[in-house]
Structure 1
């Protein structure tokens, strides 16, 4: 299970770094041009902090996997991470319209990859937290 947490740690660091490309990839300059300044800046700030939390979670897994498994506090933190990723998995089903991916090969593939990723993350963290 230590190896699983370290693999997750590496994946989360990569995921956090990928957030840096979101604004360009999703064309936020154009998409958010008609939005008020506060709403535009909130999107950027919230994206930064989501990426920051994901980065810290990844660093925690890389540096403290045995403690996450072997101490009461570590198991509580792992359980919290499991609940976090389980919530993200549920959002994948109920927070995004199927119009975004249904009938589109690439988007459907990404949707399924995210379901697999969020399932893996929540499963490993929940097992670590409850084990």
Structure 2
């Protein structure tokens, strides 16, 4: 279980770093130009803090896997992290239109991959929390 937590930690750090390419990949300079300043800034700032949260979760998983699995506080943190990723799993299906991925090979693969990843991470953390 500890090794799985650490592997998820590495994956979360990689996911956090992936956010660095979002502005270029999603062409934010052009796409966000029509937004008001506050909406443009909120998009950028919120993306930064999501990436930071995911990064810190990854660091926690790598540095404190034993504590997450062995202590009461760790199990409570694992329950909260599991809840976070479960809500993210729900948003995968309710927050994004299927127009974004249906009929598009790469986007469908990304959708399926992250749907499975959110499922795995949720189950893993809840397993740790409630076992």
Q: TM range, normalised to the smaller chain?
A: over 0.9
Q: TM-score, normalised by structure 2?
A: 0.98
Query: What is the rounded CA distance, in whole Å, between the counterparts of 1:49 and 1:106 in structure 2?
Result: 26
Helix, strand or coil: the match of 1:46?
helix
Deviation of 1:104 (Å): 1.3
Deviation of 1:17 (Å): 0.7
Q: Aligned pair count? A: 131
CA offsets per residue over residues 73-98 of structure 1, 9 Å max, x none? 00000000000001001111111111
Matches within 5 A, 1:13-28: 13-28=13-28
2:69 maps to what in 1?
69
> What stretches of structure 1 of length at least 5 have no aligned partner?
none
Q: TM-score, normalised by structure 1?
A: 0.98
Query: What is the rounded CA distance, in whole Å, between the counterparts of 1:103 and 1:18 in structure 2?
Result: 24
> What stretches of structure 2 of length at least 5 have no aligned partner?
none
Deviation of 1:10 (Å): 0.4
**Over 3 Å off, 4+ runs:** none
Query: What is the rounded CA distance, in whole Å, between the counterparts of 2:96 and 2:46 in structure 1?
Result: 18
Query: What is the rounded CA distance, in whole Å, between the counterparts of 2:24 and 2:103 in structure 1?
Result: 25
Matches within 5 A, 1:109-124: 109-124=109-124
1:6 maps to what in 2?
6
RMSD, aligned α-carbons = 0.6
Query: What is the rounded CA distance, in whole Å, between the counterparts of 1:8 and 1:104 in structure 2?
Result: 27
